[in-house]
Amino acid sequence: MLLETKNLRKSFPIESKLLRQVIGRVIAVDNASLSLNKGQVLGLVGESGSGKTTLGKIVVGLIEPDSGEIFLQDKNIKNFTRKERAKKIQMVFQDPFASLNPRLSIGTILAEAIRTREQVIGNRQQVEKIKELLNLVGMPTNILSDYPHQFSGGQRQRIGIARALAMQPEIIIADEPVSSLDVSIQAQILNLLLDLKQKFSISYIFITHDLSIVTFLADYILVMYQGNIIEEGKPEEILTKPKDKYTEKLFNSLPKITCQIL
């Protein structure tokens, strides 16, 4: 077992408009338990507001849960320092336009990640590393002094993936990595993620609302609704005989390409 979470729970306060007093709490994630094996792709589906992104952020460490435990390689995550955790788990964000600092060059963005992993590294070595990373994600290597705004959404997402890879993580949490990309580019990025999985045996938690993507990628699917994991199983099982009414509704609402495709 690479990663396991037990009864994770997170609620956010609702503040009154006038005095910002807490007048209630909204439960974003309720009792979420999941487990991820090495080399596995775990699909996390649900509509917006179902808590899937919050769950992803808890696992990567961007949000502290109210209660519950996370075990990484059978050790409680509390025993890891922030850096150790970052070396194991990385995240690729939904919006490639918002997740790269517009004032840093691509070289700086990637160098930052590399230096987090290896403190002592010579300049030449560092440049070598960056070029290697860019090669991995299929980007040209002469872009080190370019800035994020010079790239398209798909290219930025590749840079985001390169940044995650710089830590040589064992788990990548991909939060809707293709939902803001064009259809013709989506397939490129999904293929890249699959290639990297084979090359480095990375495990993914793939967060999405696009069921056609998840059934294609995932080995195991969790369906979330209002903070709860309401159904889990292999894609074929969930697809053919969903047990929960909501899952059925979710899958039926997907527009299908019904016409015969050659």
142 forms part of the interface with other proteins (CB under 8 A): no
Interface segment toward other proteins; rule CB under 8 A; list 24-32, 33-41, 157-165, 182-190 = 182-190
Taking the complex as a whole, the smallest distance from the CB of residue 47 to other proteins amounts, in Å, to 4
CA distances from 234 to 41, 175, 219, 237 (A): 11, 20, 6, 5
Phi-psi region of 31 (alpha: psi -120 to 50; beta: other; left: phi over 0): left
Adjacent-strand bridge partners of 72: 3, 75
- Assess 249 for contact with other proteins (CB under 8 A): yes
Binding piece for other proteins, criterion CB under 8 A, among 4-12, 29-37, 95-103, 152-160: 152-160
Is residue 56 part of the contact set for other proteins (CB under 8 A)? no
Stretch that binds other proteins, among 13-21, 79-87, 92-100, 184-192 (CB under 8 A): 184-192
Smallest CA-to-CA distance from 69 within 135, 159, 4, 154 is with 4
Cβ proximity of 10 and 36 under 8 Å: no
Helix and strand numbers, DSSP H then E, in the chain? 9, 10
Calculated CA dihedral for residues 182, 184, 190, 194, nearest 10 degrees? -160
What is the smallest separation between the CB atom of 217 and other proteins, expressed in angstroms? 8
Shortest Cβ distance from residue 178 to other proteins (Å)? 10
Rule CB under 8 A: choose which of 47, 95, 132, 146 binds other proteins.
Answer: 47
Retrieve residue 27's tokens.
Answer: 């439960």
Could you tell me which stretch among 15-23, 59-67, 106-114, 247-255 binds other proteins (CB under 8 A)? 247-255
CB under 8 A: which stretch of 55-63, 92-100, 226-234, 246-254 binds other proteins? Answer: 246-254
Residue 247 main-chain phi, psi, to 5 deg = -55, -45
Q: How far apart are CA 93 and CA 180, in angstroms?
A: 11
Number of residues in the chain: 262
With respect to other proteins, which residue has the nearer C-beta, 5 or 208? 208
Q: Binding of other proteins at residue 81 (CB under 8 A)?
A: no
Q: Where are the beta strands (DSSP E) in 16-81?
A: 22-36, 41-45, 67-72, 75-76
Helix (H) or strand (E) holding 52: helix 52-60
Q: Is residue 188 part of the contact set for other proteins (CB under 8 A)?
A: yes
Q: Given the complex with other proteins, which of 66 and 237 has the nearer CB atom?
A: 237
Selected from 39, 209, 233, 237, the binder of other proteins by CB under 8 A is: 209
Backbone angles phi and psi of 22, in degrees to 5: -75, 120
Closer residue to other proteins, CB minimum distance, 32 or 217: 217
In the complex, the residues that contact other proteins under the rule CB under 8 A are 47-48, 152, 154-155, 182-188, 190-191, 194, 209-213, 215-217, 236, 239, 249-250, 252-262
